[in-house]
Amino acid sequence: MQKEELLQLLHDPDICHEIFLIVKNGGSPASAADLNKLAALKKQIKPSAAKAAGGDAEKLAAIKNILHKKAEEESKKAQGVADAYATMDALSKEISPDKGLDMSKVKDEDEDAGPGVPSGVGGAFADKLALLRSQVNKTNEERAAKAKAAEEKKATASGAEKYTFVLERPCPVCGQNTHVVKCKSRLIAETTDLDLCIHYKDFNPYLYRVWACEHCGYAADEQKFIRRMPEKTQEKLREFLNSANLALPFVEERTSEQAVQYLEMAILFNELADPSPNRRANLYLIMAWIHRYDGNAEKERAALDKAAELFDLSLDTENYPVDKMSDTMATYLTGAIHVMRKDYDKATKHLSRIISNQALRTSAPKLFEMARDMWQEIKTAKEKG
């Protein structure tokens, strides 16, 4: 007997009972009567089982067909709503996080949504969709405006974007690498003042003359920053900086206020560990130039006063050259600063030292000529006045 036929027989309780009686005989073979009876039962159950199985299959197919049609209808309906909300979700993602919807404007009535909106979705959805579209349009307009402004700014950029670059240098005090800004060489000079302040086109390089450590706060002009510092000076400054908390975060593009702050810090460290009045005079002169670029005459005059005072002291007390500055250059700068301060007596005193030195006609002809021209203008002004 095949396995499938036996399984069909086992579905009928009476047949199961008869099979049980046969098995109960133990290991002995079944009697002929039992076998005949089992064969008769097999013939009896086979058609009925097949008929029942066929009926069940027809019922199952009918049920599956009904369920399939119902599932298709529900799927179409659900897909319509899902597509509508998917559209709304996609639109909402285009809106900036800080621009939410004013949901008080959304209607709650369930009315026809209008063209482009799936049927079965009410007027509340249409209102939401309209608000979302409005927000998306507004956001896109704002983004376009910002992009245009950024392009215009880039096209006319005049700060660090065009004229500077960032590099790392070790701090002479704490030893850590710090970011610094260095000016490029392609600057276009337009005019030069009496005190040698050069006016460059679209850019002020004097904002970056001082380098500062972003870790410990030490600040100095570029040339002094890269120079090896005596160990005793280093220890003195390190001890001071450990408790001073003067470190400032690095910025690539400085404002005038930030540049003046760094200059004041450099002057402070100069006073603390460097006795040279010439170096402090140069820092004040750069500060005056920054204020001149900004058109702040009052602050420019205050910085020039300090520079003149320190240059006078330097010429009386220091041995030249100081760094790369000669005594002739220091004398000229001091006279020019006094001219710009309108202190013509002191200016004449310093300029006379240059024009009376005939050797400068050949060793420093341009400086000699500039000093002579200023001296002559002062003399003419005094004669007229």
Q: pLDDT category, 35, cuts 50, 70, 90?
A: low
Q: Examine residue 73 and state whether it is found in any structural domain, yes or no.
A: no
Mean pLDDT computed over 338-367: 94
Verify that 296 and 321 share a domain, yes or no.
Answer: yes
Beta-bridge mates of residue 312 = none
Verify that 205 and 289 share a domain, yes or no.
Answer: yes
Closest CA to 194 of 378, 6, 380, 382: 378
Verify that 132 and 10 share a domain, yes or no.
Answer: no
Q: Examine residue 20 and state whether it is found in any structural domain, yes or no.
A: yes
Question: What is the domain range of residue 126?
Answer: 104-155
Among 18-22, 152-156, 199-203, 300-304, the range of highest mean pLDDT: 300-304
Q: pLDDT category, 96, cuts 50, 70, 90?
A: very low
Please tell me which residue, 11 or 341, carries the higher pLDDT value: 341
pLDDT at 281 over 80: yes
Verify that 174 and 136 share a domain, yes or no.
Answer: no
SS3 for 230-248, per residue? CHHHHHHHHHHHHHHCCCC
pLDDT at 328 over 50: yes
Distance (Å, rounded) from C-alpha 335 to C-alpha 343? 9
pLDDT at 215 over 80: yes
| Range scoring the smallest mean pLDDT among 78-87, 191-200, 274-283 | 78-87
Q: pLDDT category, 291, cuts 50, 70, 90?
A: very high
For the chain, give the percent of residues with pLDDT over 90.
Answer: 52
Tell me what pLDDT residue 80 has.
Answer: 60
Angstrom CA distances, 325 to 79, 194, 315, 338, stand at: 84, 17, 12, 19
pLDDT at 360 over 50: yes
Whether the CA torsion 181, 185, 190, 194 is positive or negative: it is positive
Q: Examine residue 86 and state whether it is found in any structural domain, yes or no.
A: no
Verify that 149 and 171 share a domain, yes or no.
Answer: no
Of 18, 41, 66, the domain-final residue: 66
Tell me what pLDDT residue 14 has.
Answer: 55
pLDDT at 10 over 60: no
Helix-helix angle 32-93:13-24, to 10 degrees: 130
Calculate the average pLDDT of the chain: 79
Verify that 323 and 356 share a domain, yes or no.
Answer: yes
Mean pLDDT computed over 214-219: 96
Q: pLDDT category, 100, cuts 50, 70, 90?
A: very low
Tell me what pLDDT residue 335 has.
Answer: 97
Closest CA to 268 of 210, 331, 182: 210
Verify that 242 and 108 share a domain, yes or no.
Answer: no
Count of structural domains within the chain: 3
Q: Examine residue 95 and state whether it is found in any structural domain, yes or no.
A: no
Distance (Å, rounded) from C-alpha 66 to C-alpha 369? 110
Q: Examine residue 30 and state whether it is found in any structural domain, yes or no.
A: yes
Beta-bridge mates of residue 220 = 211
pLDDT at 301 over 90: yes
Tell me what pLDDT residue 307 has.
Answer: 98
Q: pLDDT category, 221, cuts 50, 70, 90?
A: very high
Tell me what pLDDT residue 185 has.
Answer: 82
Please tell me which residue, 87 or 288, carries the higher pLDDT value: 288
The helix (H) or strand (E) run that includes residue 154 is helix 123-155
Verify that 131 and 46 share a domain, yes or no.
Answer: no
Q: What is the pLDDT of residues 126-143, one digit of tens each?
A: 665 667 667 767 777 887
Verify that 279 and 192 share a domain, yes or no.
Answer: yes
Mean pLDDT computed over 20-42: 56
Verify that 202 and 348 share a domain, yes or no.
Answer: yes
Q: pLDDT category, 109, cuts 50, 70, 90?
A: very low
Phi/psi at 18 (nearest 5 deg)?
Answer: -60, -40
Q: Examine residue 332 and state whether it is found in any structural domain, yes or no.
A: yes
Helix (H, G, I), strand (E, B) or coil at 135: helix
Verify that 238 and 199 share a domain, yes or no.
Answer: yes
Q: Examine residue 124 and state whether it is found in any structural domain, yes or no.
A: yes
Verify that 195 and 287 share a domain, yes or no.
Answer: yes
